[in-house]
C-alpha cells in the first residue's frame, strides 16, 4: 500500500510500524475510496490506525476547515487518538490543526479559539462535540468529508447515541461515515440504517476469548480472604506493568488502600478521579513510575498502555464480554501477556461459559510464593493444564528501555523452572 505523503511513512517507522494488520489492509483502500464502512474487529487489531492513516493521506493541509470528525466514547480514548494523530503529523512539512474536545477542558478558551479559526481534524467525546456543534453552533463540522465513530458499542452502553445522532445529522448525504467496534449490537442497527447508505461491512476476527497472545490462569480463593489471595498472587509474579481490575469504584478503592498498606508500588484510576489527574497517572504509569494500576472497567475498552504484561481480575466481571475487553489490555499486537483471575464457588458457571467460548483455562495456586498447577475444576473432564514453556517464553514489551528492573528476568526464570519441575512430578 503506497502512501503519497512521506511524513506518514516516517511517523509509522518511528513507532516500529513494519507492516499493516489485517484490518488495516482491508479498511485503508476502502476508506481512501470514500466508502462508508462498518468495521467489526477485535481489541488490539489496529482499528485506530486503519482510519487515521487514510484521513491524513486525504487531508488537504491548505484548506483551513474541518475535514474529519472523530467521536470516541471516553475522554481517555479520545485523548489517546489525539496523541496518535499528533505523533503522526509532527513531521508534516505543513502545519496541521488538530484539536481535542473533551469534558473538563477549558471550554471558554476553546470557544474563543473557534471564533478565530476552525481545526482541520476534530477529536472529541459525544457530549462535548454535541455541545459545540449543535448547542453553540461554533464548531462548523458540516464541512467534514468523513465522520468516524470509534468503539460504537461502548457509546451505546454509555447512552451517548442521542448525542451522536445529533452530531451525525449536521452532515450531508455525501459525508463518509465509518463506524468501528469490537461488536455491532442489534440496538445500533437503526442508527446505521439511518445514516449509512450501502455501507461496506468488514469483519476481522470477531471478538473472542481465544487470543493466542494471552494465557489465561485462574486461582480459586477457596473461601479465603480475597485480599490475601491477591497478595499471594502478587508475591509470585513480577510484571512489567500489571493492571488489577475491580468491578466497582468502592472495590477498587479498597484494593488500592490494601496494596498501599502493603507497600506495593501501585496507583488508582476510576471515574471519580478528575480527568486531568487520570491523564497524569496514565502518563506516569507509562513512564514506569508504578508497577501496578488498580482500575475499574473505565480502562477495559480502547485504551492502549504500552508494556502491560499482566492483567489480574480481583473480581470477574459480570459480563463475559468485559472479561475479553479487560484481558485485551495485554497481549497487544505481537506481544504475549498473562491474565490471572480470582474465582470462587459461585463462578463455576461463569467459567463454563468462558470455556464454551473457546478459552483455554489453566488452574493454578500459590505455594511458598511460587505458582504451581492446581487440580482442575472437574476431574471427570479434560482441562487444559499448565504448559510451563508458556510461562517461560513470555515476551514482555519494553517501550522505554532495553533494561528491566534488577533481577526481573532471573527471578522470573527461576520461578518458571520450579513450576516446570513440579509439573513433571505431577505427571509421573
* Residue 191 and residue 227 in one domain: no
DSSP string, 73-138: SSHHHHHHHHHHHHHHHTT-SS---EEEE-TTS-HHHHHHHHHH---SEEEE-HHHHHIIIIIS--
Q: Within a domain: residue 420?
A: no
* Residue 365 and residue 286 in one domain: yes
Q: Within a domain: residue 419?
A: no
Place of cell 498447577: 373
* Residue 299 and residue 361 in one domain: yes
What order do you get walking across the sheet with 200-204 strand by strand?
98-101, 121-124, 68-71, 146-149, 176-181, 37-41, 200-204
Q: How many CB atoms lie under 10 A from the CB of residue 225? A: 9
Q: Considering just the CA atoms, what is the radius of gyration of the chain in Å? A: 23
* Residue 195 and residue 218 in one domain: no
Domain of residue 48 covers 6-204
* Residue 49 and residue 122 in one domain: yes
Q: Within a domain: residue 34?
A: yes
Q: Within a domain: residue 56?
A: yes
* Residue 126 and residue 219 in one domain: no
Residue 206 is predicted with a pLDDT of 52
Q: List the chain residues with pLDDT less than 50.
A: 207, 380-413, 415-416, 419-420, 422-428
* Residue 323 and residue 379 in one domain: yes
In the chain, DSSP finds a helix count (H) and a strand count (E) of 16, 15
User: CATH no. for residue 25?
Assistant: 3.40.50.300
* Residue 66 and residue 189 in one domain: yes
Number of structural domains in the chain: 2
Amino acid at each position: 500500500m503506497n502512501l503519497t505523503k512521506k511524513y506518514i511513512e516516517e511517523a509509522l517507522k518511528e513507532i516500529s510500524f513494519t507492516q499493516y494488520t489485517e484490518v488495516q489492509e482491508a479498511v485503508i483502500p476502502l476508506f481512501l475510496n470514500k466508502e462508508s464502512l462498518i468495521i467489526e474487529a477485535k481489541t488490539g487489531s489496529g482499528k485506530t490506525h486503519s482510519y487515521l492513516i487514510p484521513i491524513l493521506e486525504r487531508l488537504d493541509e491548505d484548506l483551513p476547515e474541518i475535514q474529519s470528525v472523530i467521536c470516541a466514547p471516553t475522554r481517555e480514548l479520545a485523548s489517546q487518538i489525539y496523541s496518535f494523530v499528533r505523533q503522526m503529523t509532527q513531521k508534516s512539512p505543513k502545519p496541521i490543526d488538530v484539536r481535542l474536545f473533551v469534558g473538563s477542558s477549558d471550554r471558554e478558551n476553546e470557544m474563543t479559539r473557534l471564533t478565530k479559526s476552525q481545526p482541520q481534524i476534530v477529536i472529541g467525546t459525544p457530549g462535548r462535540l454535541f455541545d459545540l456543534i449543535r448547542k453553540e453552533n461554533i464548531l462548523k463540522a458540516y464541512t467534514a468529508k468523513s465522520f468516524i465513530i470509534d468503539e460504537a458499542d461502548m457509546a451505546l452502553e454509555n447512552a451517548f447515541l442521542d448525542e451522536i445522532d445529533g452530531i451525525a445529522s449536521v452532515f450531508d448525504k455525501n459525508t463518509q461515515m465509518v463506524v468501528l467496534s469490537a461488536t455491532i449490537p442489534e440496538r445500533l442497527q437503526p442508527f446505521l440504517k439511518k445514516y449509512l447508505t450501502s455501507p461496506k461491512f468488514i469483519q476481522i476476527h470477531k471478538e473472542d476469548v481465544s487470543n493466542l497472545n494471552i494465557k489465561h490462569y485462574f486461582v480459586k480463593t477457596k473461601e479465603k480472604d480475597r485480599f490475601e489471595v491477591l497478595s499471594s498472587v502478587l508475591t509470585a509474579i513480577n510484571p512489567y506493568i500489571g493492571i488489577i481490575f475491580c468491578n466497582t469504584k468502592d472495590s477498587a478503592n479498597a484494593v488500592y488502600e490494601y496494596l498501599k498498606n502493603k507497600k506495593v508500588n501501585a496507583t488508582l484510576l476510576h471515574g471519580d478521579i478528575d480527568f486531568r489527574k487520570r491523564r497524569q497517572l496514565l502518563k506516569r504509569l507509562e513512564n514506569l513510575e508504578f508497577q501496578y494500576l488498580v482500575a475499574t472497567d473505565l480502562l477495559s475498552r480502547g485504551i492502549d498502555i504500552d508494556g502491560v504484561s499482566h492483567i489480574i481480575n480481583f473480581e470477574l466481571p459480570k459480563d463475559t464480554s468485559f472479561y475479553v475487553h479487560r484481558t485485551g489490555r495485554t497481549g497487544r499486537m505481537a506481544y504475549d501477556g498473562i491474565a490471572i483471575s480470582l474465582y470462587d464457588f459461585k463462578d463455576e458457571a461463569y467459567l463454563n461459559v468462558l470455556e464454551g467460548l473457546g478459552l483455554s483455562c489453566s488452574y493454578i495456586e500459590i505455594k511458598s510464593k511460587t505458582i504451581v498447577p492446581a487440580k482442575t475444576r472437574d476431574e471427570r473432564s479434560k482441562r487444559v493444564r499448565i504448559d510451563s514453556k508458556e510461562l517461560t517464553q513470555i515476551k514482555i514489551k519494553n517501550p522505554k528501555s532495553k533494561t528491566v528492573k534488577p533481577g526481573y528476568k532471573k527471578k522470573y526464570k527461576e520461578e518458571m523452572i520450579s513450576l516446570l519441575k513440579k509439573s513433571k512430578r505431577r505427571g509421573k
